[in-house]
Structures are given as structure tokens and as C-alpha cells.
């Protein structure tokens, strides 16, 4: 039993040593020495452009500028002897030099694929501070909601973490200095969206080895230009539903003509829903105010036809006992049903407005 226990202890020690020397065996130094742990990796993020937004699939393409700062005493040099206070490297030279020094290995957790159009610059100050700046385009996966379309705001959250180092070894954070370099450009390539703001939040994630890791969430908030959708979305729906007013108030209209108008309106609503879904993906298939209006529109048009035909027959029949009450009810429903439908549609739109 003691031999088995000693063997397990030996294997654990060997495994720990292998993990500790993994970077060194690859020719890359380990964590900075003679510094207080955890090593602080300060991050700034600028959103240079939002190139594409896919609400249904929850994906977006962003052009980012990511800045990382950390301190490593092994990078200190004599500024007087070298005649400069900072060494700058760009492109391939910077990538090659990064292989010879310690770097945080910052990971973009929700990134899809590789970085495109990447440019990199590395500056090493005489004090031992390293500044790594990367500009690139990449696809990301986000959690998006279409519940408020077309009055929605989308929070595009990018998760930054250090998967190689636990929280006790290195943390990723942002300070006021980094926040001053962060932000989002005012003009975006996605024409129907406008930037709102950028915010940071620190969280902890649990790794597969039951160790906690530092994570920095950067949330980019963009809002849709709702006024650009009023004519394209709501006016066609209102125009189709307005046929009910003609059916309710037109004198001398026969029942078969009323039925033809209502069924034509139902077909028009169906055509509008297919058109909206192809033009604005997710506007009908997801739970949006537009989808609610069209769904209620089907019920409203059918109810108008049923009430109008039934009450018209009751009023026209002199042998019907309550024909006077039916006439009064018909008169009230002529304005009550469109008013109720209008209130419901306005309520669905107002409820979706951003607070």
C-alpha cells in the first residue's frame, strides 16, 4: 500500500514539473519572476467597425484593435546604453520576438475561426513594460434577441480570458487608463445600426481542471434605427387591416363581397409575413411585435367577418326576437373592434421600446 502511495506521489510530482516546464521546453520563458502574483494583464479594446450582424444565427463580424499591457522585469534594459527608451517591432518581427518572451496568451472565447487582416505591433519599454497591439477582423458568436424588433438593442459580448494561467497566476483586467483608449467608432458598416456604448465587466470561469480563471467581458451595445422600419414594416400591416373598416362601415355591401375582401386581406397578410421573413430574417419566425401583430391580424379579420355576417343576418330578419339589440351591438362593434385592435398593436410596439 505504501509503495502504491509513493508511486502516485511521484507521478503527481512529475506531472506538476512537466506542466511547469512546458513553456521552458518549448524555448519560451514562464511567468515573470520577482513580481507580485497574479500578473496583471491590462486590456483595452476599440471597436473600429461592425461589418456584419446576423441576428437569427447569433453571429457578427467585427474589426477590433486589442491592446495588452504587462510588466516583466526580464525585459528591462538600459535606455542610455541603447540610446532609446522603447523598442518597437511590427508585423512578422513582432511575432518572432513574442516567441522568445513571456506573453499572456489572451484568448477570445466566443471567436469563430481565425483572425483575418491581422496586423501586430509590439513595444518594449526600458522599465520592462510590454505593449502588444493587434488589429484584426474576426467572426464572433453572440447571444441575440429579436423580441423587440425593430426597436431592439443588441449586446455583443466578447469574452477575454487567459486559459493557460489560473486566477492565482495571472488576471486580465482594465483600468481607467485602458478605458480611455477603448470605445466604438461612430460610423459603422452595418447601415441599420448605430453604436450606443462599450462596457467592461470582470467574471470568473471554472476550467476543466476545477481551477478558476480570470475573464474580462467586453460588451458592445448597438441599437437599430427603428425609424427606418416604420414605412417598410408597419404601414403595409395597417393598410391590410384597414380593409376591416370598409367591411364594417360600407353600406349595402353583400355578404359574399365582405367575405371576398376579408379572405383577400388574409392572403395579403400571409404574403407580407413571407416578405418580411425574407427581407428581415427573424422578424416573423421569432417572437417580435411584428409577428404578434400579424398573428393577431388573422384572428381580427376572421372575427370581423363572423360578427358582421351574423349580426347582419340577425338585424335583417324581422322574426328575430332581439334584432334591435343586435343592431345596437353591431353599431358598437363597428368602432369597438378596430379600436381594440389598434390599442393591442400600439401596446405591442410600446412594450418593445427600449427603456
H or E segment and range at residue 88: strand 86-90
Q: Is 21 helix (H, G, I), strand (E, B) or coil?
A: coil
Q: Rounded distance, CA 135 to CA 120, Å?
A: 6
| Contact criterion met (CB below 8 Å) for 262 and 247 | yes
DSSP structural state of residue 32 = P
**In the chain, which stretches have pLDDT less than 70?**
1-28, 313, 315-323, 355
Torsion of CA 95, 101, 104, 105, to 10 degrees: 40
Residue 271 exposure: Cα atoms within 13 Å on the Cβ side: 8
C-alpha cell at 227: 425609424
* DSSP for residue 150: T
Helix (H) or strand (E) holding 123: strand 111-125
CA distance 155 to 143: 8
Sign of the dihedral defined by the CA atoms of residues 180, 79, 23, 32, in that order? negative
108 Cβ contact partners less than 8 Å away, ≥ 6 residues apart: 138, 140, 158, 159, 160
Exposure of 301 in the CB half-sphere (CA atoms within 13 A): 26
The per-residue pLDDT for range 197-229, each reduced to its tens digit, is: 999 999 888 777 778 899 999 999 999 988 888
| Distance in angstroms (rounded) separating the CA atoms of residues 234 and 246 | 19
pLDDT of 251: 74
Rama region for 343: left / alpha / beta (φ>0; ψ in -120 to 50; rest): alpha
The pTM assigned to this predicted structure is 0.75
Strand extents, DSSP E, 142-286 = 153-161, 170-173, 183-184, 193-206, 212-224
Q: Please name which of 239, 261, 248, 238 lies closest in space to residue 342, comparing C-alpha atoms.
A: 238
Contact predicate 64/138, CB 8 Å: yes
Task: Take residue 34 and report the three cell numbers written for it.
Answer: 520577482
Amino acid at each position: 500500500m505504501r509503495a502504491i502511495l509513493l508511486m502516485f506521489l511521484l507521478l503527481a510530482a512529475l506531472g506538476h514539473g512537466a506542466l511547469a516546464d512546458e513553456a521552458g521546453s518549448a524555448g519560451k520563458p514562464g511567468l515573470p519572476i520577482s513580481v507580485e502574483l497574479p500578473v496583471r494583464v491590462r486590456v483595452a479594446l476599440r471597436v473600429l467597425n461592425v461589418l456584419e450582424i446576423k441576428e437569427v444565427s447569433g453571429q457578427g463580424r467585427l474589426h477590433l484593435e486589442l491592446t495588452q499591457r504587462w510588466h516583466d522585469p526580464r525585459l528591462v534594459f538600459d535606455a542610455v546604453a541603447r540610446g532609446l527608451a522603447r523598442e518597437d517591432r511590427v508585423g512578422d518581427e513582432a511575432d518572432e520576438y513574442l516567441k522568445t518572451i513571456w506573453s499572456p496568451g489572451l484568448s477570445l472565447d466566443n471567436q469563430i475561426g481565425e483572425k483575418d487582416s491581422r496586423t501586430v505591433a509590439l513595444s518594449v519599454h526600458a522599465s520592462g513594460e510590454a505593449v502588444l497591439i493587434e488589429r484584426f477582423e474576426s467572426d464572433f458568436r453572440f447571444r441575440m434577441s429579436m423580441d423587440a424588433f425593430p426597436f431592439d438593442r443588441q449586446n455583443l459580448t466578447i469574452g477575454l480570458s487567459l486559459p493557460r494561467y489560473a486566477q492565482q497566476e495571472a488576471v486580465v483586467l482594465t483600468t481607467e487608463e485602458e478605458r480611455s483608449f477603448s470605445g466604438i467608432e461612430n460610423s459603422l458598416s452595418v447601415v441599420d445600426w448605430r453604436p450606443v456604448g462599450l462596457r467592461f465587466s470582470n467574471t470568473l470561469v471554472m476550467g476543466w481542471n476545477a481551477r478558476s480563471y480570470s475573464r474580462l467581458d467586453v460588451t458592445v451595445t448597438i441599437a437599430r434605427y427603428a425609424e427606418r422600419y416604420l414605412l417598410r414594416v408597419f404601414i403595409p400591416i395597417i393598410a391590410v387591416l384597414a380593409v376591416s373598416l370598409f367591411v364594417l362601415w360600407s353600406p349595402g355591401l353583400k355578404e359574399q363581397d365582405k367575405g371576398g375582401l376579408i379572405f383577400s386581406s388574409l392572403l395579403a397578410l400571409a404574403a407580407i409575413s413571407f416578405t418580411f421573413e425574407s427581407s428581415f430574417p427573424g422578424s416573423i419566425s421569432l417572437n417580435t411585435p411584428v409577428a404578434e401583430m400579424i398573428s393577431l391580424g388573422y384572428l381580427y379579420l376572421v372575427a370581423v367577418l363572423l360578427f358582421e355576417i351574423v349580426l347582419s343576418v340577425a338585424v335583417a330578419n324581422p322574426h328575430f326576437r332581439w334584432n334591435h339589440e343586435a343592431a345596437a351591438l353591431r353599431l358598437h362593434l363597428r368602432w369597438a373592434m378596430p379600436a381594440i385592435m389598434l390599442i393591442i398593436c400600439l401596446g405591442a410596439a410600446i412594450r418593445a421600446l427600449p427603456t
